[in-house]
Structure 1
Amino acid sequence: MADTGGNSWEEKDMANVFHGFTDFPSLKENGPVVLTHGEGIHVFDVHGKRYLDANSGLWNNVAGFNHTGIVEALCAQAQRFPGYHSFFGRIADVTVELSERLISLSPFDSGKVYYTNSGSEANDTMVKMLWMINRRKGMPERRKIITRINAYHGVTVATASMTAKPYNSEFGLPLPGFLRADCPHFWRFGLEEETEDAFTARMARNLRDLIEREGPETIAGMFAEPVQGAGGVIPPSKGYFDAIRPILREYDIPLIADEVICGFGRMGTMWGSDYYGIEPDAIIASKCITAGYYPMGAVILGAKLAAELEEASEAAEEFPHGFTAAGSPLGSAVALKALDVLETEGLIDNVRSLTPHFLERLSRFGDHPHTGEVRGVGFMGAIEMVADRKTKAPFDSKLRVSERIANKALEKGLICRPLGAAVVLAPPFIITNAETDTMFDLLEETVADVFAEIG
């Protein structure tokens, strides 16, 4: 990092901030990017440099970075009633209003909403809900949680155990009782000469085998993202959820849809569950619920689980769990306005209308000699780079190809995200056709420059 006088923002960061999910060699070589503000789909650093944020912050700033209406809703609620909890049967009126709105938007005819501050906390909370329900029903052995290889469900101790990524071995996780089903990624895990339909059937058979091997009477639930987001934007194989849903019903295993990334329009539908016809028993929501303007997560329970949890809590005299700031009046007001923006200002409509162009521009990377797979649904896409297209062999990790692409893109004023061997794009819902072209033009220049360096 260049010497900028001994007291620069970058040097203050390096001296005082510890960054999560950050490539430390890149950080030490290039320094951090310290931002001051945003306008539309762009953010600006302390030097005035503008970046097109092709990842919506962290999937969530879908209305851009300076939406006047959302800011005004936050300020108005701060003046009226800025903070309160949701313990002891007390709650802000605006949070009740949001709960009614979320149930109406959900796939459920009725249900209940429980608030947290993040998707991690929401998934963690759902696990505890399932455990409590089963203990009160006289089935304390029903505790095991099924997730899938490459899943991402959070970073608490429980949700990191659900997140089936290799890096959690750094913490000695997963804990016992967290099971791994197959990743339904046909390109990566399909067998030679296996059709996609046959692959899906194999995924279903393997799930049944896992359940029977472990004992269905020991399994509390299965959590699944409609599209595996932080796994590298991995859509399920054709017919996957249609194949596994009857199996889970047969064994009375609840299916929890983790909609933290897919929910509220990312796929052009309100929920990823709508897109795939999943019919979940509960939904985990966060990120776009406030368009990234306030930390909030939610567990949205369908009628059956809501009734079972209420019965268990009555028997225990309470649900002994909660977070001080969960269900915040500020967050609730922001969420209500963000949902209005998504629905009435045409943001989800814009995702639907621009998805064909987004996916067409994305597909052009399929012609690159080092592109293994291009994949995308709605406003989420990934380009997986490989050393050999035929064998799908990845590059030597020492080359850090996706990280180099992300760093080179920053130089050009584009923020994209490296995820394993893939480069991921998830633009804000307000992006225009012309801005979409700019985003892809910059990425094409970036990829060409990086591979010119690699040789």
Structure 2
Amino acid sequence: MSQSWDARADAHSFYGFTDLPTIHDRGTVVLTHGHGPYVVDVNGRQYLDANSGLWNMVAGFDHPALTQAAQAQFARFPGYHAFFGRMSDQTVMLSEKLIEVSPFERGKVFYTNSGSEANDTMVKMLWMLGISEGAPQRKKIITRKNGYHGVTVVSASMTGKPYNSVFGLPLDGFIHLTCPHYWREGQDGETEAAFTTRLAAELEDVIAREGADTIAAFFAEPVIGAGGVIPSPDGYFQAVQPILKKHGIPLIADEVICGFGRTGSVWGCQTYDFIPDAIISSKALTAGYFPMGAVILGPDLSDRLQHAADMMEEFPHGFTASGHPVGCAIALKSIELILEGGLLEQAQALIPRFEAGLEALSHNSNIGEWRGKGLMGALEAVADKASKTPFDGSLSVSERIANTCTDHGLICRPLGQSIVLCPPFIMTTAQMDEMFEKLEASLKKVFAEVT
């Protein structure tokens, strides 16, 4: 074809979560392959991907053990479902492994194709549970502003981002509490402990206002990811979980981003020292090598949902590719690599250098805050550091930084006024230094242009 790759992409592709002015000005970066933490475009240009794809490619883009696991399973049994009392042996083994490595003493697993679908499925499970237990009014879902839980109609309603208003969402009954971002949401003179106390009081007030018997669950990411990498304030889950337990409201940990090592522990809930009632998993579950999500149910919800399903003789929900044998084989290998093959230890070893690099860049007069947990972090751009005043939105500062990084051969993600980094676990110290050097050069260039 005579057209360029980016013109061909623009002619026939409808972009999601993409800054369209950037596409109009710069075109699409069309990639052909990757190696280690790098991806390569159609022109042979290499980029260090500091996003791990989309939080998920923790083992890089060409890990031989993962591709071999996929190839072997494709040759052995390339596809099946998990309906009608049939499922692959790989599906059975993965469910066993997920409960084994979970914080639960026992439980059950249900598979989806994504984290969005897993959150959506969890809500359907909770609504079914309410009806089966004689409480059909128990349908409301509590999340937090800036929290991200997916893009289906239900999971987008859970997501506390204003852009969902273009779809007429959220649906009724989805309640968004204050974002737990102490730097931005804390009041003048308020300590972090007092901020946590205020958030817990807000939860108690909302439960009293709405009625505990109308609330199906509280969903929370241990670290808010796509809302800008917002770690939970000190003592947050220790403050909110007793309130939820008192009112019989399940706590669901959305570990789509945090799970399998991103926070430095296997699970984000372990990093923050709490045990939820269920875990939502995806992304690093398969190291990004296959689309898969999972609802991991703890013992109480497992028992109650099993009883509800037994009463109607089935759980009328599922997806054609639920528990796909190739995806399950890859997930088993991914978990092995993370927990036994050294990937988690590699991530943990990188964390001090990662935090030091973020802290060093935060001394820039136009960086208001660095924040992060484990191997995920963000730098928030501000026009004025003392007052925390953001740049005028028309300047598109974070997009400009991300685009300048691309020009330097670095992929990072703009989120609001922040630049987000979530490097692969396989990154070397030299590659991490490369990441920060390119980011620093990009920050200096853009801030010189806009200040």
| TM class by smaller structure | over 0.9
- Report Cα offsets for 1:56-112 as digits up to 9, x if no partner: 000000000000110011000001000000001100001100000000000000000
- Report Cα offsets for 1:120-147 as digits up to 9, x if no partner: 0000000000000110000000000000
SS in 2 for 1:223: strand
Distance (Å, rounded) in 1 between the aligned partners of 2:268 and 2:219: 14
Task: Quote how far apart the aligned CAs of 1:344 are.
Answer: 2.2
Match status 1:23 vs 2:19: yes
Distance (Å, rounded) in 2 between the aligned partners of 1:444 and 1:187: 23
- Map 1:110-189 to 2 at 5 A: 110-189=106-185
| TM-score w.r.t. length of structure 2 | 0.99
Q: Is the 8 A contact 1:248 1:254 kept in 2?
A: yes
Q: Which residue of 2 aligns with 1:59?
A: 55
Task: Quote how far apart the aligned CAs of 1:388 are.
Answer: 1.2
Task: Quote how far apart the aligned CAs of 1:205 are.
Answer: 0.5
- Amino acid in structure 2 at the alignment position of 1:320: P
Distance (Å, rounded) in 1 between the aligned partners of 2:212 and 2:268: 27
Distance (Å, rounded) in 1 between the aligned partners of 2:94 and 2:298: 16
Match status 1:251 vs 2:247: yes
- Map 1:205-224 to 2 at 5 A: 205-224=201-220
Distance (Å, rounded) in 1 between the aligned partners of 2:84 and 2:305: 16
Task: Quote how far apart the aligned CAs of 1:6 are.
Answer: 4.3
Distance (Å, rounded) in 2 between the aligned partners of 1:418 and 1:302: 35
- Report Cα offsets for 1:160-193 as digits up to 9, x if no partner: 0000001000101000000111211110010101
- Pick from 388, 392, 412: which aligns with 1:392? 388
Match status 1:364 vs 2:360: yes
- Of stretches 145-154 and 346-355 in structure 1, the one that deviates more from structure 2 is 346-355
Distance (Å, rounded) in 2 between the aligned partners of 1:16 and 1:399: 29
SS in 2 for 1:367: coil
- Map 1:8-407 to 2 at 5 A: 8-407=4-403
Task: Quote how far apart the aligned CAs of 1:9 are.
Answer: 1.1
| TM-score w.r.t. length of structure 1 | 0.98
Distance (Å, rounded) in 2 between the aligned partners of 1:408 and 1:387: 18
Task: Quote how far apart the aligned CAs of 1:451 are.
Answer: 1.4
Distance (Å, rounded) in 2 between the aligned partners of 1:213 and 1:286: 34
How many pairs were matched up?
451
Match status 1:441 vs 2:437: yes
Q: Is the 8 A contact 1:122 1:284 kept in 2?
A: yes
Q: Is the 8 A contact 1:182 1:207 kept in 2?
A: no
Runs (4 or more) in structure 1 with deviation over 2 Å come to none
Distance (Å, rounded) in 2 between the aligned partners of 1:451 and 1:383: 13
Q: Is the 8 A contact 1:60 1:288 kept in 2?
A: yes
Distance (Å, rounded) in 2 between the aligned partners of 1:429 and 1:380: 11
- Amino acid in structure 2 at the alignment position of 1:395: F
Q: Which residue of 1 aligns with 2:421?
A: 425
Q: Which residue of 1 aligns with 2:450?
A: 454
Distance (Å, rounded) in 2 between the aligned partners of 1:198 and 1:75: 53
- Report Cα offsets for 1:342-383 as digits up to 9, x if no partner: 122211101111101110011012211111110011100000
Task: Quote how far apart the aligned CAs of 1:7 are.
Answer: 1.3
- Report Cα offsets for 1:291-345 as digits up to 9, x if no partner: 0000000000001101111111111111011000110001000001111111222
